[in-house]
Amino acid sequence: MWVVDQYIDYVKEQTIANPEQSWGKMLLGFQANKLRTKILPKKGLSKGYQKLEAMMMSFVADALCRPESYVWGNIFAPCEIIRCFGLSTISIECLSCYLSGYHLEDHFIDYAQNTGIAPTLCSYHKTFVGAIDSGAVPVPEYAVTTSLSCDGNLNTFRYLEKKKGVPFTFLDVPYGDDKASVEYLAGQLKEFAGELEKRFGVRFEEEKLKEALRIENETRKELMHFFRLQSEYYYPGELISHLYMMMGMHLLIGTQEFLDLIRFMIDEIQTYPKFEGKKILWVHLLPFYQESLKQCFNTSKEYQIIASDIIIDSVEELDAEQPFHALAKKIIHNMYNGSYSHKAQMVGHLADTLHPDAVIQFCHWGCKQSSGGSVLLKEEMQKKGIPMLILDGDGIDKRNSHDGQIKTRLEAFLEMLDVEEDSSEEREEKTV
């Protein structure tokens, strides 16, 4: 829409010229988009994905308007504990995505690099650092991060503490999957709850956490059911729909609201026709702005993304009666923790469950583990006879993604899938 584009350009100009005075204008845009998702949802999308977009826009817009209501975290921060204190978790990676809606990622990345931040740092983190350093985004009272999934987390939050005085808790996640490792992390989570209790003056109620984990167990079961159905039925969504699902699973997991949405999507998807195209399992981040990918996957009846690995932390049921130990196990068993061989095996298990026709891994700029481990994942997929494409680019900085190259490689890969299917059908006909 012309008006929207004009406002985005206006906010970007104002942010570059007067960053300290631009936050209110950004919030106004977030609130306007929240309203848009409710009264003018995107055409062509399923109602479920429309509702998901509206939910995530409302969550972020409402939280950001009340700085006292949220803490910053990374994407794997234990939002279940934070919510027990009436607080929301705003992931810095997700916030960077929302800032990119104003096309500000390039300005903030350049700002961060011009102040000495390494160009090799993850562009999500550079966007966040630039937004804070420039004064465009206000800081909250508190923050928390984990050691997974990258070494940039600790450095970014340390920088935030040094430059802006924002205290934070660092959750050191061990690689080991044994009793001692679980006890070690569970102890840290208990201390974290105690820290929140002291800082915000709210008494921690363990029963709230237990109830959140009970809902989380149901949500995870229902989500896997939805993924299996999405491999059977055509369910129109967009690249960004899967990004919203990832945000929901990491920021709203354990809430009845999010569980109800997944159940709505399960009911709705079964009213759609069977999907006859190619089923894609996506690995790692989704470059939601990439035109060639959007043209291929948005509401496509030929190629449908049935799930993304980054949406799922673990598939194991949590023992709600031992909430801190259960959360510790969940974080330790996360496919983004430990060796890449561990992740490759878990993606393999996911492929065994969903039976995709192909796997696409997006190697995001600055994400060392993604790029370094892609060969191991490809070897795992080769064992299973599943074709795999590795794409290199940037999940947020458009300047680091070459659309022409991505389009060429993607089209060649999808053509190969179609040719293989035709050849298989011919062989079956000859056999008959």
Per-residue pLDDT tens digits for 236-284: 999 999 999 999 999 999 999 999 999 999 999 999 999 999 999 999 8
Q: What is the pLDDT of residue 423?
A: 53
- What sign has the CA pseudo-torsion 237, 239, 242, 248? negative
- SS3 for 275? coil
> What is the per-residue pLDDT for 421?
62
Q: Which helix (DSSP H) or strand (DSSP E) does residue 2 occupy?
A: helix 2-17
- Ranges of residues in the chain whose predicted pLDDT is under 50: 425-432
Q: What is the dihedral of CA 198, 200, 206, 208, to 10 degrees?
A: 180
The rounded distance, in Å, linking the Cα atoms of 56 and 34 is 9
Neighbouring-strand partners of residue 359: 281, 388
β-bridge mates for residue 152, sequence order: none
CA distance 175 to 148: 10
- Rounded CA separation 119/366 (Å): 8
Which of 104, 95, 141, 360 has its CA nearest to residue 247?
95
What span, in angstroms and rounded, lies between the C-alpha atoms of 149 and 283? 14
Q: What is the pTM of this model?
A: 0.92
Amino acid at 230: Q
pLDDT value at residue 304? 96
Amino acid at 244: Y
